Structures are given as C-alpha cells and as structure tokens.
A and B are shown apart, each in its own frame.
Chain A
C-alpha cells in the first residue's frame, strides 16, 4: 500500500476533473492526475509521461528509467503481481 506503482499516462479522459488513463504493466485504468499538474501545465502535457501512483492518484512525475527500475523491483518482491491484481479485480 505504501509502495506506489509506476504507470504511463496514455490518454486524458476528463480534462476538467483531471482524470487520465494510465498503463501499468499492460493493465489500464483511470487515475486522477491533480497532484502532478503544475501551474501553467496543461493536462495534455502529461500524455506519454510516467507517474508514481498511489491508490488511483498520481503523486509524482518520474523518469522512464526510474519507472522501469521500480517495476522490476516490485516484480521481484512480489508486490507488482498483488498491485496489478488489485487494479484488475477492483469491484466497481
């Protein structure tokens, strides 16, 4: 829960509510990007960028190398599978 998961923003779905689709190791889901839009930035500027996601909210912009490194680490400690399962299985 405390380990954020890296994802790549692939589409802005609601520019007003700052909702976007991210790709997390091949799993797609909608997240909120409010906390990573700096003043003067447009939501569309985030497309293609990597972010660290906690419970469906992007909390930091990270570079691609850091994202890949974190994904490898999460896979090795077994956290990636758990996190992806919880994203996939969310009962909504």
Chain B
C-alpha cells in the first residue's frame, strides 16, 4: 500500500533524524541547552509517545508537551457545576464520553450518573439536540467543551435549535481557544520554548494566520503539523531549520488538509453564537485572559449558565498534583511524584492522566516501549 510507504518509510525517517541531529546539535551548542519544541496538540502528543519519537531523537532536542487536550485542562469547578446541573430535576445531561470521566472535587459525571442523575453519553451535540426533540418535557443540557475543532459543531447545533424553537435545549459552554493560551505561555518568563508544532485539526478550522503573532511578535517558528510520525519529524526539522537560519515564520506542513484561511462556514457559525470571555480558568495553568468563549446575549435561552443557578465555586488542584509544571514544560510526566504511583489512568488524580491525549496518560501507556521498531513495524 503506497500511502503507508510514503509516510512510514524508514529510510526517510532515518534521513530526517540525521538532519534533525545535525541541526539540533549546532543549535544546542549555541543555546547551551537542548532545543525545546512544544507540540501544542494532544493528538501530536499521542503520536509522539505511540511511535516513541522522543526516544529516536538526539539529546540536543526535546519535545515539550503542550496544553492541547481540552479534557485535561477543564477546571474542577466547572466539572462540579456540570454535576450540579445534572442533578437538577428534569435535566438530561448529555456529554462526550471522555468528559464524563473527568474527576470533579467530589464526583465525575459518570459517578453522578451512578448516583441517579440522568447523564447520557453522546458522540455529537446533534445527538443532544435529538434528545431534546424526543423529550419535550425535559431540559436537555449539552456539556460543550473543546477547542475550535468542536466549537463549530456546538455553534451550528445551537443555531439549529433556535430555528426549530427548541427551548428545552441548552449548552453548558466550556469551549476554549488555543491562541490566547499560547500567548500566555510565551509571556511566561520561565518557559524555555524555542518553537512550536501547530495543531493540525484546530488549524483546519482557524487556518494558519492566527499564529502570525508568534513569529512576528515573539520571533518563534511555528509549523502546523500533520499526525503521521513522519509529519511530526518533518515539521520538527522545519522548525529547526528556521531556528538555524534565524528565521521565524508560520509554515504549513499539513497543507494537504489545512488551508491558510481555515473553514469560513465554521468560523462564521462560531462568531454568530460565541464571544470571548474576559478570562477562563485552565486546570494546571490558572486564569488566562480571553482564553474561553461564552454564548452571546441573543442566545441566553440556550445558555445553561443563564438557565441554572450554578455553585460556581473554584476548587483547589488535588494535593501532590504537578500537572501545571508538566504543562509549562518545567518537568517531564515521570518526574511528578504522583506519576504511576497514586496517579494512574485507572485512578487519575491529575488532569493529564484522565484522557488518552494527556501527556501523562500517553507517557504511562507507551513510555516504556522502545519504538524505532514500532515505526517500521508495518514493513
């Protein structure tokens, strides 16, 4: 199968790793430390661990795993609010499956379901809308979360609910947006990131231009990357070449799927329904200005935050949890004292252990695997 060969060719992988080694050694000598490149997207984190890419690289270059897993960064207080909504009489709470497992300060949504709340696991907000149509005497609330990949789906669903006059449907909106968070990380004086691999599927929606400030204002290279192991190696090489030539540009390695301008229809729906919040809390990172969206005033009837009285309490991070340090690139997952002992995928304490796209869960699952063999395993 030709498509596998092209993106899994071990000769190409070896050549890329040789080129990466050559450039990164030179850069690391100049910097006096390893070159650090952050992969922003949880999907990339997953690929990097699954194929053991970090272990194939020389010590002169390191991946820093970014905050791009929306389930992982959901704050505990918002989970508590969602559990409170789920326990209201007459409510059907519809949620993505992975969001249902996120621990709140006392319960996850799955535990709320076991305690009697009507929690339904759905694949799409369209399923939640269908629940609202089928249950006109119930209030159906969709637990909306995710970056720009899922934002258009909930925006279009709300627009559909409005056109049908389905007023027993609402969103509990926890959507977040990646760009202000990257800016906040770049403003963090302790962060040593030399360049970025940009999120592939978020960029399908927003395009490449929203990242221009990273190159223009912060002088860091950003390469929007695909998800194949060779996509990631090639994108890393593109970042290193930019650094070596003292360039800072936004490049698109994933042009076979991502356009420069994104998806206009999706962005239009998002802009109709959502507006930026002044600030939103991220688990492990704290409050980040303009990093979340809420529903615009004309959609108040579809906004669970307007419909329900929410506890709105902030909850402290669990003791011993160092997710924030991992997210900022200060420590690696295995350096956290809870990692693999009290915090495992079966009993997660920290957010990064909850979803398979979280850096800690991925490290736990694949960290001990040697992977050069894996990459060429299909041959």
Most B CB contacts (10 A, CB to CB) among A17, A37, A73, A82 go to A73
The chain B residue with its CB closest to the CB of A62 is B257
As a 0/1 sequence over residues 114 to 136 of chain B, the CB contacts with chain A under 8 angstroms (1 = contact) are: 00000011111111001100100
The reply to whether the CB of B202 lies closer than 8 angstroms to some CB of chain A is yes
The reply to whether the CB of A65 lies closer than 8 angstroms to some CB of chain B is yes
B3 touches A1 (CB 8 A): no
Residues of chain B within 8 A (CB-CB) of A60 are 204, 257, 263
- Asked, given contacts A60-B257, A92-B127, whether A1 binds B357 with beta carbons under 8 Å apart, the answer is yes
B122 touches A59 (CB 8 A): no
Distance in angstroms between the alpha carbons of A92 and B122 in the assembled complex: 7
B201 touches A77 (CB 8 A): no
The chain A residue with its CB closest to the CB of B154 is A55
Mark the stretch among B39-47, B238-246, B284-292, B340-348 that contacts chain A. Answer: B39-47
Residues of chain B within 8 A (CB-CB) of A79 are 43, 46, 356
Most B CB contacts (10 A, CB to CB) among A1, A77, A92 go to A1
Distance in angstroms between the alpha carbons of A68 and B228 in the assembled complex: 12
A57 touches B152 (CB 8 A): yes
B3 touches A69 (CB 8 A): yes
Enumerate A36-91 residues with CB–CB distance to B below 8 Å. 36-37, 52, 54-57, 59-60, 62-63, 65-66, 68-70, 72-73, 76-79, 82, 86-87, 89-91
The chain A residue with its CB closest to the CB of B50 is A77
The chain A residue with its CB closest to the CB of B41 is A2
Residues of chain A within 8 A (CB-CB) of B256 are 62-63, 66
Residues of chain B within 8 A (CB-CB) of A31 are 124, 126
A1 touches B263 (CB 8 A): no
The reply to whether the CB of B4 lies closer than 8 angstroms to some CB of chain A is yes
- Asked, given contacts A1-B98, A92-B131, whether A54 binds B257 with beta carbons under 8 Å apart, the answer is no
- Asked, given contacts A60-B257, A86-B121, whether A35 binds B7 with beta carbons under 8 Å apart, the answer is no
B131 touches A59 (CB 8 A): no
Residues of chain B within 8 A (CB-CB) of A68 are 1, 3
The reply to whether the CB of A7 lies closer than 8 angstroms to some CB of chain B is no
Partner of A4, one of B71, B204, B265: B204
Residues of chain B within 8 A (CB-CB) of A90 are 121-124, 127
Residues of chain B within 8 A (CB-CB) of A4 are 149, 201, 204
